[in-house]
Every structure is written in structure tokens, then in C-alpha cells.
């Protein structure tokens, strides 16, 4: 059960089925169904999938999916339903923004050669605007009002950032793991990543056949990520992304490149190489060229382990830097310093960071409280 201003209280059930072909689990058939009912909206939505994995060597997989769902404009779901429920009901901050999606998709993936994974997806989508149906809250903040479901015009409750339309989308992606080795068995193959080399991802996405012609577009993406083991000095992580659009000047807002922001002061990820912790969710969304970079170094016990008294707590010092650059805008950046592995005994699900953001002549600082166990609850 969760809450958002579009559905009101929302009840959701997830059902799944798995079937293996034999005792070696070579072939796998999976099916799933999600049912959601919005109490205030008085609407039932259902979507599901069925997939077949043919072997455990190249893991060739085909999947069919479809149905009706409420989809966030940023499909990475930067704010979880549970966290949005808390910020809405207790703090009157309805950050989750979404639209109605009807879809049917077919996807295929396999590791064509050792270290190279290819995936492709073709889908039909029908997108419609949705609006707020509930203004419920538990604590009344006199200086706050719920915003609209339009991220571009939060004070206009009957406006939409796009025209209702149909579109066909194609997505092709290749992932290269350099230096990867593997263990081969008669019924399976197990990969061994080589952390001395990065993982490179190349992707192409095309929107075509849209009922609103200006919504057709092409996008090219590239990403590089790596975790470098620094031995007794901890672990260094980086994640770099870049991309550009062709004919993207007037596309639908959900097809923009969105960046994972955070307006809750709560962190839920194991590390922050995919998120800007002080960035508004949709303020930097773009339909032009962009670059996104994250670096983070976890010193483990290298520094705090040498400080008297603090070394008894087993906390880890973490520092990070984050940069976002989009066409026609000045760069946005963040610097952070914090402590991970916070807690006691085996219960170390917390992290505390101080983050400072910089944009033109503006800068802002805040503490981010990491509650990593929230990912498990969602």
C-alpha cells in the first residue's frame, strides 16, 4: 500500500511464476503480473510479462510484456512509492510525477561472445495525461500546497507537459566487459569480471510512427563505469555518461533525458554514482546533448580506522564529486563528504553525507541521510 496525489491510496499486488526445465536449471520460464488499484482515482491497472531463458551459457532470453501502468516521467523511478508516501502525507511534498502508459513490448538479449551482451526491445506505447485526485495529508503545513502533476508547470493543476499520443519505440544496447573471464561447465557458464578494466555501454533509441509527428526522435548514448580496488586504501567508483538527440527539439517530455535527482534529503542507494542528491528531479531534463559524471571514493577503514575512538565504530569515510552539463546551460556540480557503514553490529544500513551544490553564482548545502534498507522494502 502506498500514497500519491494521482491515485490517492494505492493497493498493489505482485504475482510471479517460475518453471525450470530440469534439475540443472538450464531453461527457465517466468511470468509475472502486477495489479494496482488507485482508491481516489477509482481505476484498476494491470501489466505483466512472460519470458523464456533458453540456456545458462549465453543466457539467450526473449520476453513479451504489456498492460496498463502509471509510469514516472523518469523511467529510472528516482523517487520510490514508499518514500513519496512519506514525503507527501507527512511533509506535503508530492515529488512523484507520472503519466498513464498502455504498452506492448518484445525484447531479446544474449551474450553473443564472452564479454559482449546485446539487448534489443521494440514496443508500442499509448501515453495519456493524468491529474491529481487526492489532497490528503496527515500533517497540515500552512505554507505548503501540493503541486500539479506537470513537472514543468507545478502550479498549473490542469496542464500537461505533452499531448496524448501513440508511439513506437526501438531500443538497442551493447555492453562490453573488457578482460572478462569465465568458468565453463557442461550446463552453464559463470562470468568473472575483471575490475582492472571498465564496463562500456553503447545504446541507441528511436521513437517513430508517433501520432504527433514532432515526437519522433533518435538518441545515442554512451556510458563507462568501473569500481577500482585500491587495496588497503578502499574502493574508487566512477560512472560517466553522455548522449545526444537528433530531431529532438519538440519531443514528448517523457522521452527527454532525465537525471536522477533528490529533493527528499533521504538517500536509498548503496553508493551515489547514479544520483545528484540536491538536484530537483526534472529541472535539468534535456532533449539536447548532455554529459553526466560521478566519482566516489570509499576509504573503508584507511582514514577513520587510524583515528582514536572513531576506529572503534568501524565507520567508513566517503568523498564524492558529481557534474552535470547540458547544452545551452552552465554546468551543475556537487561535492560531498560523509560516513558510510553507520550502525551497530550487523545492522549497518545507514549513511550520512554533507553535500554542497554549485550552479553559476548559487550554492547550497544540506545533509543527506542514507537509509539503504528502504530499497529492500520497496
pLDDT tens, residue by residue, 310-324: 888 999 999 999 999
C-beta neighbour count of 187 within 10 angstroms: 12
* Average pLDDT score over residue span 275-299: 97
Q: Which residue has the higher pLDDT, 65 or 313?
A: 65
Give residues with Cβ within 8 angstroms of 337, minimum separation 6.
317, 318, 319, 320, 353, 354
pLDDT tens, residue by residue, 80-114: 999 999 999 999 999 999 999 999 999 999 999 99
Residues 185 and 187: their CA atoms lie apart, in Å, by 5
| 266-267 vs 362-371, strand pairing mode | parallel
* Average pLDDT score over residue span 148-170: 96
Q: Yes or no: say if 340 and 298 are a contact pair by the CB < 8 Å rule.
A: yes
Stated pTM of the model? 0.94
pLDDT tens, residue by residue, 112-144: 999 999 999 999 999 999 999 999 999 999 999
Given a cut of 80, whether residue 194 has pLDDT beyond it is yes
The helix or strand, by DSSP H or E, that contains position 171, with its residue range, turns out to be strand 165-177
Residues 168 and 279: their CA atoms lie apart, in Å, by 31
Find, among 267, 268, 170, 177, the residue nearest to 223 by Cα.
Answer: 177
Beta strands (DSSP E) in 178-216 are 181-184, 189-192, 199-208
Given a cut of 80, whether residue 378 has pLDDT beyond it is no
Find, among 338, 232, 242, the residue nearest to 290 by Cα.
Answer: 242
pLDDT tens, residue by residue, 18-60: 999 888 889 999 999 999 999 999 999 999 999 999 999 999 9
Given a cut of 80, whether residue 155 has pLDDT beyond it is yes
Q: Yes or no: say if 162 and 256 are a contact pair by the CB < 8 Å rule.
A: no
For 338: left if phi > 0, alpha if psi spans -120 to 50, otherwise beta; the answer is beta
Q: What is the DSSP letter of 233?
A: G
Residue 203 three-state SS: strand
Q: Yes or no: say if 260 and 268 are a contact pair by the CB < 8 Å rule.
A: no
SS (H, E, C) 76-125: CCCCCHHHHHHHHHHHCCCCCCEEEEEEEEEEEEEEEECCEEEEEEEEEE
Q: What is the CATH number of domain 84-99+110-141+159-377?
A: 2.40.160
C-beta neighbour count of 216 within 10 angstroms: 18
SS (H, E, C) 330-366: CCEEEEEEEEEEEEECCEEEEEEEEEEEEECCEEEEE
Domain ranges of the chain: 84-99+110-141+159-377
Residue 8 three-state SS: strand
Alpha-carbon distances, residue 10 vs 36, 152, 326 (angstroms):
7, 25, 36
pLDDT tens, residue by residue, 321-365: 999 999 989 999 999 999 999 988 888 889 999 999 999 989 999
Q: Yes or no: say if 29 and 52 are a contact pair by the CB < 8 Å rule.
A: yes
Residues 245 and 255: their CA atoms lie apart, in Å, by 10
* Average pLDDT score over residue span 216-220: 98
> Residue 182 burial (CB < 10 Å; 0-12/13-18/19+)?
middle
With cut-offs at 50, 70 and 90, classify the pLDDT of residue 193.
Answer: confident
Can you give the pLDDT at residue 311? 87
Residues 87 and 263: their CA atoms lie apart, in Å, by 10
Given a cut of 70, whether residue 377 has pLDDT beyond it is no
pLDDT tens, residue by residue, 231-274: 899 999 999 999 999 999 999 999 999 999 999 999 988 899 99
Amino acid at each position: 500500500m502506498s500514497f500519491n496525489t494521482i491515485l490517492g491510496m494505492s493497493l498493489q499486488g505482485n504475482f510471479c511464476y517460475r518453471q525450470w526445465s530440469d534439475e540443472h536449471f538450464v531453461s527457465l520460464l517466468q511470468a509475472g503480473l502486477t495489479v494496482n488499484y488507485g482508491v481516489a482515482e477509482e481505476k484498476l491497472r494491470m501489466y505483466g510479462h512472460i519470458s523464456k531463458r533458453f540456456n545458462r551459457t549465453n543466457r539467450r532470453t526473449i520476453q513479451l510484456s504489456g498492460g496498463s501502468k502509471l509510469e514516472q516521467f523518469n523511467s529510472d523511478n528516482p523517487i520510490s512509492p514508499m518514500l513519496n508516501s512519506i514525503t507527501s502525507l507527512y511533509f506535503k511534498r508530492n515529488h512523484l510525477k507520472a503519466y498513464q502508459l498502455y504498452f506492448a513490448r518484445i525484447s531479446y538479449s544474449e551474450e553473443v561472445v564472452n564479454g559482449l551482451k546485446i539487448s534489443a526491445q521494440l514496443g508500442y506505447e499509448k501515453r495519456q495525461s493524468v491529474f491529481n485526485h487526492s489532497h490528503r495529508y496527515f500533517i497540515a503545513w500552512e505554507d505548503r500546497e501540493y503541486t500539479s502533476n506537470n513537472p514543468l508547470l507545478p502550479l498549473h493543476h490542469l496542464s500537461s507537459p505533452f499531448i496524448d499520443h501513440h508511439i513506437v519505440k526501438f531500443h538497442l544496447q551493447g555492453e562490453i566487459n573488457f578482460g572478462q573471464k569465465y568458468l565453463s561447465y557442461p550446463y552453464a557458464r559463470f562470468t568473472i569480471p575483471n575490475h582492472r578494466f571498465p564496463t562500456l555501454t553503447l545504446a541507441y533509441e528511436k521513437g517513430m510512427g508517433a501520432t504527433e509527428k514532432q515526437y519522433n526522435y533518435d538518441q545515442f548514448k554512451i556510458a563507462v563505469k568501473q569500481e577500482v580496488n585500491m587495496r588497503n586504501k578502499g574502493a574508487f567508483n566512477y560512472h560517466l555518461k553522455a548522449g545526444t538527440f537528433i530531431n529532438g527539439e519538440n519531443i514528448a517530455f517523457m522521452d527527454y533525458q532525465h537525471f536522477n535527482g533528490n529533493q527528499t534529503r533521504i538517500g536509498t542507494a548503496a553508493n551515489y554514482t547514479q544520483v545528484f542528491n540536491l538536484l530537483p528531479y526534472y529541472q535539468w531534463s534535456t532533449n539536447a546533448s548532455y554529459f553526466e559524471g560521478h566519482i566516489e571514493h570509499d576509504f573503508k577503514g584507511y582514514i577513520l580506522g587510524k583515528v582514536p575512538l572513531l576506529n572503534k565504530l568501524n565507520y567508513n569515510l566517503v568523498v564524492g564529486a558529481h557534474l552535470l552539463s547540458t547544452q545551452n546551460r552552465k554546468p551543475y556540480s556537487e561535492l560531498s563528504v560523509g560516513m558510510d557503514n553507520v550502525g551497530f553490529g550487523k545492522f549497518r544500513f545507514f549513511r550520512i553525507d554533507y553535500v554542497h551544490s554549485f550552479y553559476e553564482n548559487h550554492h547550497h548545502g544540506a545533509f543527506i541521510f542514507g537509509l539503504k534498507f528502504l530499497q529492500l522494502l520497496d
